[in-house]
Amino acid sequence: MAEQNTNDHLHGVTLEMMLTRLVEQYGWEKMGSTIDIRCFTNNPGIRSSLQFLRKTP
């Protein structure tokens, strides 16, 4: 099948990819101070943050 061109800039970008990039760029401490959620401040990790973000609207 031929790929369709899309205007969606996030097409193919996963939540894990976004979170990993944010951690690389800002770090857990900066993210936790900017967005006060526990998965960024107390024992932060990609896995626990993904679980929280996926179940939270």
Domain assignments of the chain as residue spans, ordered by start: 15-55
Is residue 7 very low, low, confident or very high in pLDDT (cuts 50, 70, 90)?
Answer: confident
pLDDT per residue as tens digits for the range 8-32: 888 899 999 999 999 999 999 999 9
pLDDT value, residue 5:
63
Contact status, residue 52 vs residue 43, Cβ threshold 8 Å: no
Tokens of 27: 């770090």
pLDDT at 10: 84
pTM of the model: 0.78
pLDDT tens profile 41-52: 999 999 999 999
| CATH code of the region 15-55 | 1.10.720.30
pLDDT at 1 (0 to 100): 47
Q: How far is Cα 39 from Cα 28, in angstroms, rounded to an integer? A: 9
Dihedral sign of CA atoms 41, 42, 45, 49 in order? negative
Q: Which residues contact 41 (CB under 8 A, 6 or more apart)?
A: 28, 32
Best CA proximity match to 53, nearest among 12, 13, 16: 16
